[in-house]
C-alpha cells in the first residue's frame, strides 16, 4: 500500500484538516463570483437607455405626464421619443434607435411609444380519434403613442408576428402543445410603424 505524504504547513507541522473558517471563506468566494457573473449577465440584458429617461417613459405609459417634456407639434423634423416595453419594464435597446430619435433627457422628450405584448390564438388544429389539439398563437404588439408633456394618447398602432403554416397533417403524441409565432426584428418593426405614423401626421 502506498502511503500518501501528510500535508504540512509552512512551519513543517502536519495539517490534519482544513480550518472551518478557511472552508467558509472559500465558499463565500464562490458565491461572490457567482453573484458577480449574474450581475454581468443582467447588465448585458439591460436596454442601455438612461435609467432616468426610462423611469420618465414608464410614468407616461402608466397614465402620467411630464411637465418638463417638450410639446409635440406634428410636422417634419425630429420628434425625440422612447419606445417603452411594459412587459419588460424597459426601453428597446439603445442601438435599435435611429439617429436623433432617442433624447438625452426628459427635457428633450416629445413622445413615448408604450408597447404591450399579447398572444392571439389564430387557429386550433383538431384531429380524428383524439381530443388533443394544437393551438397556434401569434404574437401581437399594441403600440400606444403618447404625448409626453400632456399624457394624451395620439395613436394606437400594432405589429403582428410573421405568417404561420397551416395545421400539420401528421402529428405524434408529444406534438400536442401550443405553438407560438414570434415577431422577428420586433424593435425595427415597432419603429417602422411609429415612423409611418409620424410621416402621415
Q: Name the helix (H) or strand (E) containing 60.
A: helix 51-61
| HSE (side-chain half, CA atoms, 13 Å) at 51 | 2
Q: What mean pLDDT is predicted for residues 35-64?
A: 74
**pLDDT at residue 42, as a whole number:** 39
Please give the Cα distance from 176 to 132 (Å, whole number).
6
Higher pLDDT residue, 166 or 124? 124
Higher pLDDT residue, 45 or 118? 118
**pLDDT at residue 175, as a whole number:** 81
Do the beta carbons of residue 58 and residue 84 sit within 8 Å? yes
Q: Which of these, 118, 117, 113, lies nearest to 61 by C-alpha position?
A: 113
Is it the case that residue 28 has pLDDT exceeding 60?
no
What DSSP assignment string belongs to 17-40?
S--HHHHHHHHHHHHHHHHHHHHH
**pLDDT at residue 170, as a whole number:** 83
Q: What mean pLDDT is predicted for residues 137-152?
A: 96
Is it the case that residue 2 has pLDDT exceeding 90?
no
pLDDT band at 7 (very low <50, low <70, confident <90, very high): very low
Please give the Cα distance from 84 to 106 (Å, whole number).
14
Q: What mean pLDDT is predicted for residues 37-63?
A: 75
Burial of 163 (0-12, 13-18, 19+ CB in 10 A): exposed
**pLDDT at residue 37, as a whole number:** 42
Mean pLDDT over all residues of the chain? 82
Please give the Cα distance from 139 to 161 (Å, whole number).
5
Vertex 153: Cα angle to 148 and 157 (nearest 5) = 110
pLDDT band at 29 (very low <50, low <70, confident <90, very high): very low
Please give the Cα distance from 81 to 145 (Å, whole number).
9
Amino acid at each position: 500500500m502506498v502511503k500518501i505524504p501528510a500535508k504540512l504547513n509552512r512551519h513543517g507541522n502536519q495539517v490534519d484538516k482544513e480550518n472551518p473558517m478557511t472552508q467558509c471563506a472559500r465558499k463565500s468566494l464562490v458565491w461572490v463570483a457567482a453573484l458577480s457573473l449574474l450581475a454581468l449577465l443582467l447588465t448585458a440584458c439591460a436596454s442601455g437607455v438612461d435609467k432616468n429617461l426610462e423611469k420618465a417613459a414608464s410614468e407616461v405609459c402608466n397614465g402620467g405626464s411630464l411637465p418638463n417634456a417638450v410639446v409635440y407639434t406634428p410636422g417634419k423634423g425630429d420628434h425625440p421619443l422612447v419606445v417603452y416595453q411594459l412587459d419588460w419594464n424597459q426601453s428597446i435597446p439603445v442601438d435599435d434607435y435611429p439617429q436623433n430619435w432617442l433624447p438625452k433627457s426628459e427635457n428633450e422628450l416629445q413622445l413615448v411609444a408604450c408597447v404591450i405584448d399579447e398572444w392571439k390564438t389564430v387557429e386550433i388544429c383538431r384531429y380524428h380519434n383524439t381530443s388533443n389539439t394544437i393551438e397556434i398563437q401569434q404574437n401581437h404588439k399594441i403600440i400606444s403613442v403618447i404625448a409626453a408633456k400632456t399624457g394624451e394618447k395620439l395613436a394606437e398602432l400594432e405589429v403582428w408576428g410573421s405568417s404561420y403554416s397551416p395545421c400539420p397533417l401528421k402529428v405524434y403524441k408529444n406534438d400536442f402543445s401550443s405553438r407560438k409565432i414570434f415577431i422577428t426584428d420586433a424593435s425595427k418593426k415597432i419603429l417602422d410603424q411609429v415612423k409611418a405614423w409620424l410621416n402621415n401626421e
